[in-house]
Structure 1
Amino acid sequence: MREQEDRERHRELAQFLRTRRARMTPERAGLPAEGRRRTPGLRRSEVALLAGISVDWYTWLEQGRNIQVSSQVLESIAHALQLDADEKKHLFLLALQQYPAASTQAAPEISPALQRFLDLQGTSPAYVTDQRLNIVAWNRIASMLYGGYETMSARERNSVWRTFTSPDVRELLREHWESHARHRLAQFRASYAKYAGDPWWTDMIGELSRTSEEFRAWWPRHDVLNGPEGEKINYHRAVGKLTFEQVSFIMSDEPNLTVTLNVPAADGDTVAKLSKLLKE
C-alpha cells in the first residue's frame, strides 16, 4: 500500500511540474526568445538552468522517479517556475519534504463549544470542513441555505462532490458557479498532496471524473489554492439574492478542521432576508 501511495505521489509531482513548466515563457523567465516553439512553455533544460541543477536530475523529477531531493533544490525549482505560496507548499508536500499524513483519517470530533460557536453566528451561515472538504458541522442557517445537511449522506456532505454533481448548488450560485467550482477544486487538489494514493481520494477522484465533465476537464490543470473565496453571492428560491464576505480559519487545537463563516454584507439587506428565513 505504501509503495502504491509513493508511486502516485511521484506521478502527481511529475504532472504538477510539467503543467507549471508549460505555462512559463522564456520572456517571463528572463531568457532570450528563440523563435516559435513546437510545444508551449520552457524546455526542461531551461528550468534546470534557472534552478541551477542538472538536466538529468530535473528530468527524473518530471518522469516521476523515486529520487530524494533537498529543500534547497525544491526552493530553486519553485523560484525558477515562479510558483506562488500555495503552489510552493504543494510542491514541497508532493516531494515528501514534510511527513505525509496518515492514510486513514479518524472522524473529527466536534466539541460542544465549537457547535455553540456555530449556533451563535445567527444569520451568518457557518460550517466546519475536514481536509477532505467534508462538511462535518454546521449551524441552522447554513443547513437551510445550502440544502439540509442533516438528511444528506456522507458523500453528499462532501463540498466538492456536491459542487460538481448537485443541480441545487448550480441554482444557488447561477453565474458564479464556475468560479466557485474552480476555487473548490483547487482547494481539493491542494489537500490531495498530503494523501496522494490514499484509497478514499482515489475513489472520489475517479467517481467525480466519471460523473462531471467539468471536473474531468479541470482536474489535469493541477491548480492549487488555499483560503476563502472573498465575496460570495447566493440565490435562494424564497428570499432571492444574498451577498456575503467569506472568512475562514483553522482550529488551533484541531489543525485538520477549517471553520468557514459567510458574513452577510454590511448593507443589511441580506441579514433581513436571512432573518425572515429563520422565522419560517
Structure 2
Amino acid sequence: MSEPFTNENLLGTYLRERRTRLDPEAFGFSSERRRTAGLRREEVAQRANISPTWYTWLEQGRGGSPSADVLDRIARALMLTDLEREHLFLLGLGHPPEAHYKKDEGVTPRLQRVLDALDPSPALIRTATWDVVAWNRAVTVMLTDYGALPPEQRNILRSIFLDPRARALQYDWESVARFVLGAFKIDAARAGAAAEAEPLVDELCRLSPDFAAMWRDNDIQHHGERVKHIRHPVLGRLEFEYSAFAVDGRPDLSMVVYNPTTAADIDRIRALIGEPTAAPKPTTV
C-alpha cells in the first residue's frame, strides 16, 4: 500500500521525486542493480555531506525540521534550480531561503521585446543595485540615453545625484531623490545585495554631499506605484504613472514603466520618438 500523501510529508515526497529524476552515472555512481530510477538516499546524503540516516528521516517525515544549511546542501546535491530551491525551503522551513544576490548581466531578447512593445511609454529593467540593463526608445528620448553611457555608468542613482541634466528634468528634485534612495535601500536589502551596493554608496557619498546627507537620514518609502512629473526640454511638463514590477524567474531584476497619463502626451511622445500617432477610433452608430 502506498504511503499517504499528507501535509506532514510534503517535504519527503518532494525530495523523493527530485532524486528519482537524476541520472546516477552523471554523478559517478553505477546504474547497475537499481530497483528504482534516480539516486539512492545514501547517494544524495553523500553528495550533501550529511548523515544517510538523517536524510532518510527527512524523506520519511521524521526527526523534526531541517536547518537552512542542510536544505541548502540538499538543494546543491539535487541540482535544484533557484525556483526549486525556494520551494524546498518553503516545504522544509515555511519561508523562502535568505536572499543572496547573484548578479546576472543582461536580459533575454524576449524581455527586450516586451520593453520595445511598451513604446511610447518609457520602460526599463534595473538590477537590485539600480543598474539599468535594458531600456526602450522612449527612455532614451524622454529620460536618459543609457546607450551613450559606459555600462558601469548606467545607474539610476548616479544619474539622479551626479548628472545635472537628470536633476533639471525633475520638478521637485529633492523629493524624487529621497524617494529613489529609499526605494534603492529596500531593493538592495531584499535581494541580499548590500555588499554589492557598498562601492556605489561609498563613491556617491564622496562625490555628492546631497547623497551623503540623505543616506544618513535612513528615509524609507514605499515604491510600488506613484505619479512622476518631468520637465522635458522639448515637450515641457509631462505626467507619468510610475509602476515597478518583479521579473518572473529573475529575482535580481525589476521592470519600471512610466505610463503617460493623457492621450495628448502619448501622441506627443510618439511624434518625438518617430512613431506614428494612433489612428482615431471609428465612431459607431
TM-score (norm 2): 0.58
Aligned residues: 180
**Match in the other structure for 1:274:** 269
Say whether 1:241 aligns with 2:237. yes
CA distance 1:201–1:271, shift in 2 (3 Å) = same
Answer yes or no: is the 8 Å Cα contact 1:183–1:229 preserved in 2: no
Q: Secondary structure at the match of 1:255?
A: strand
What's the Cα RMSD here? 2.1
1:183-262 equivalences under 5 Å are 183-193=179-189, 194-195=191-192, 198=195, 200-262=196-258
- Structure of larger gyration radius: 2
**Match in the other structure for 2:159:** 162
Answer yes or no: is the 8 Å Cα contact 2:205–2:211 preserved in 1: yes
- Equivalent position amino acid for 1:149 in 2: Y
Say whether 1:136 aligns with 2:133. yes
CA distance 1:225–1:108, shift in 2 (3 Å) = farther
- Equivalent position amino acid for 2:175 in 1: S
**Equivalent-residue separation in structure 1 for 2:257 and 2:209 (angstroms):** 30
1:24-63 equivalences under 5 Å are none
Q: Secondary structure at the match of 1:231?
A: strand
1:103-118 equivalences under 5 Å are 105-118=102-115
**Match in the other structure for 1:55:** none
- Equivalent position amino acid for 2:272 in 1: L
Highest RCO, 1 vs 2 (Cα 8 Å, sep ≥ 6): 1
Answer yes or no: is the 8 Å Cα contact 2:129–2:193 preserved in 1: no
**Equivalent-residue separation in structure 2 for 1:255 and 1:181 (angstroms):** 24
Answer yes or no: is the 8 Å Cα contact 1:164–1:212 preserved in 2: yes
Say whether 1:148 aligns with 2:140. no
**Equivalent-residue separation in structure 2 for 1:196 and 1:271 (angstroms):** 36
Per-residue CA deviation, residues 57-95 of structure 1 (Å, 9 max, x unaligned), is xxxxxxxxxxxxxxxxxxxxxxxxxxxxxxxxxxxxxxx
CA distance 1:117–1:197, shift in 2 (3 Å) = closer
Say whether 1:102 aligns with 2:100. yes
Q: Secondary structure at the match of 2:166?
A: helix
- Equivalent position amino acid for 1:212 in 2: S
- Equivalent position amino acid for 2:234 in 1: A
Residue 269 of structure 1: how far off its partner (Å): 2.4
Q: Secondary structure at the match of 2:229?
A: strand
- Equivalent position amino acid for 2:116 in 1: D
Give the percent of matched residue pairs that are identical in Structure 1 and Structure 2.
Answer: 29
